Chain A
């Protein structure tokens, strides 16, 4: 779908079209506020930005340049990050922000099918408890807190978090053992 067609679908309230847009935009949005990571919880900025992007999409004008919604969302993310930083009285130097915006918003490509298969194979090889913690977080999709997830697995919260951390590290080790550098391929 073209940028224009996708924007029209999102503006008309098509949440599936918005989901497709988010799947491409998320990493670039996250990278656009990298310079704030020391002073704001970037996850908050990301979620608020995506919600606002959905709300303002019907008013976005297609100016003929690529990715109008993404460009607007990057501005929203930056402004939210500045607001959050001000709230905690820690505002990064403006020139740093502008430089970061230039450097960090290069296109991020989807993982190729081979990489997806490798990640899935590594997930399948995880030990039972770490795999259960990882699956619980993926299934909950940010909708339940960790205490509730831990309880549903019969784990203490700390045990759940340790298992999740173990799953994450084992996944990365497994990918490296297959000659894949996650820092290069996934960041």
Chain B
């Protein structure tokens, strides 16, 4: 159970999110399987992770930023 919880947490911390037919960003399915305390902890850990990602990126961009920019630049 502990392993399963850990993998759910790592999944939610990723920046990939599916979109619906209208292009709306959807919550990660694993997020619904976390209790509220864990969601709060995931928020704090993600805050740090995105700053780590930005620090490792030549343009200072996190994976969230890159995901959004990819959508913007892909538009006709």
Contact = CB atoms under 8 A, between A and B. Distances in A.
Contact of B11 (A39, A50, A161): A161
A138 B40 contact: no
A141 B15 CA distance: 7
Chain A interface residue bracket vs B:
35 or more
A106 to B, nearest CB: 13
Contact of A187 (B25, B51, B59): B51
A46 B64 contact: yes
A176 interface: no
A146 interface: yes
Interface stretch (A1-9, A63-71, A109-117): A109-117
A172 B16 CA distance: 22
A46 B66 CA distance: 12
Interface in B1-29: 3, 6-7, 9-18, 24-28
Interface in A112-126: 115-116, 119-120, 123
Interface range for B: 35 or more
A30 B43 CA distance: 9
Contacts of B54: 23, 26, 111
A145 to B, nearest CB: 5
Contacts of A171: 52
A25 to B, nearest CB: 9
B8 to A, nearest CB: 8
Interface of A: 15, 18-19, 22-23, 26-27, 30-31, 34, 37-44, 46-48, 50-51, 54, 84, 110-111, 115-116, 119-120, 123, 137-138, 140-146, 157-158, 161-162, 164-165, 168, 171-172, 182-183, 186-187
Interface of B: 3, 6-7, 9-18, 24-28, 31, 36-37, 39-40, 42-57, 59-73
